Amino acid sequence: MQGEGMKDIYFLVAFVLFNILAIYSVKFLKFFIFKHRKNIFFRLFYSRIKKIGIPLLLLIDGNFIIYFINNEKQKEFYFYFNILVLGWLFYEIIKYIIYVIIALKLSHKDKIRKEVFNLAIHFTKLFIVLIIFISILSHLGVNFTAIITSLGIGGAIIGLAAKSTLENFFDSIRIISEDAFHQGDWIETKDFEGMVADVGFTSTQVRTFDNALITVPNTLLANSWIKNYSRRVIGRRIKFHLKIKYTTNTPEINRVIQEIRKMLEKHPGIVTDKKIENRFKKTIFKNALFSIEDKYGIRKTLLVYLDEFDEYSMNILVYAYSISVDWEEWLRVKQDVYMKILKIIENSKLELAYPTEEIYINRGKELWKN
């Protein structure tokens, strides 16, 4: 009896010492990893130490305690505890591996599909849950063969109930395979507009510009049109009509049009062939099987023409593309173009037009009376 008591004391001392050692080991490990944080593996592992360490320590401590109690009734709990914590640990390790792959691709400046990795994480979670569920049922003595053969009408009912879920799942695969959009893209549909936050198994989450979160079934997205504003490399459109007062001074009109065109061609933020040819020497070629400009989203049209006669003005069409597709940079370039055009008009004999009404009063009868 005394021997068993001493054994328990030794066990408790070992348990306490192990946990103290584990705490200091984690601190030392974090310090060591922080010193070597330039390495991508260490940098990511530093952010995942707690995520991986907690289930690992819980697994070891739990088994220590279960072994110490050594009760027949605890064997069932031992099984459930281990399978749940092992599933949790395995999930965190898979997430770490996926994050390392993403980081490596980003470090090599490779294009990555974040939604594919998110789906892999979701699939891993679902797979682990299924394994745990099947293991628990098997441990309880459930005969899966009998269940499968006895499903019958019940299986058909379950299949019909899960029809929409399966449709959404396969449509998520279809969306990714068709490369309709990526996580982080700015998209617009007939019902909403915003940034793609996440692509899941059955639904896609979109963050709108008023900062609301919309969850859309993948079936709806897969079977409707989607406008993707992020799929453009060069060229965000600047289009407007410059309204000029009516005049018959055609030489001056031509001079102003030519000056605006030259200003746009020299502008550092406006697309022309010469400004972008160096960027796409490897990708832009004439004898392609498809339009490189359409595939990668490159627009370089530049037009300045007298376009129409309005009720109170002659309208000069200004049509160009900014090099940057970033919204703020596009606004800056557009504003600069506006300012330069206003300066050109100021230095010309033309005037900007605006809606006016001229009223003619016929005073002939009054003059006749006098």
Confidence label for 91 from pLDDT (cuts 50, 70 and 90): confident
Whether 217 and 249 share a structural domain: no
pLDDT at 287 over 50: no
Confidence label for 355 from pLDDT (cuts 50, 70 and 90): confident
How many C-beta neighbours within 10 Å does residue 68 have? 14
Range of the domain at 173: 167-228
Calculate the average pLDDT of the chain: 77
Whether 291 and 212 share a structural domain: no
Helix axes 114-139, 74-107, angle to 10 degrees: 170
Total structural domains in the chain? 3
Whether 213 and 333 share a structural domain: no
pLDDT at 304 over 90: yes
pLDDT tens digits along 106-165? 666 556 666 666 767 777 777 888 887 777 777 677 666 666 555 555 555 555 555 666
75 belongs to a structural domain: yes
161 belongs to a structural domain: no
Whether 18 and 130 share a structural domain: yes
Whether 26 and 97 share a structural domain: yes
Task: Please indicate, yes or no, whether the overall pTM of this predicted structure exceeds 0.85.
Answer: no
245 belongs to a structural domain: yes
Handedness of CA 16, 20, 23, 25 (dihedral sign): negative
Rounded average pLDDT over 56-84: 72
pLDDT tens digits along 229-276? 888 888 899 999 999 999 889 999 999 999 999 999 999 999 988 777
The tokens 């596009």 sit on which residue? Answer: 330
Confidence label for 86 from pLDDT (cuts 50, 70 and 90): confident
Looking only at Cα atoms, what is the longest distance across the chain?
Answer: 140
8 belongs to a structural domain: yes
Whether 326 and 267 share a structural domain: yes
Cα distances from 34 to residues 24, 49, 95, 96, in angstroms, run: 15, 12, 20, 17
Alpha-helical regions (H) of the chain: 2-35, 40-69, 74-107, 114-139, 144-149, 152-161, 163-177, 218-222, 250-266, 273-276, 292-296, 327-346, 364-369
Lowest mean pLDDT among 3-17, 90-104, 242-256: 3-17
Whether 222 and 261 share a structural domain: no
Q: Does 6 or 256 have the greater pLDDT score?
A: 256
CA dihedral 155, 161, 165, 166 (to 10 degrees): 40
Strand order of the β-sheet with 314-322 is 236-244, 314-322, 303-309
Whole-number Å distance between alpha carbons of 188 and 205:
13
99 belongs to a structural domain: yes
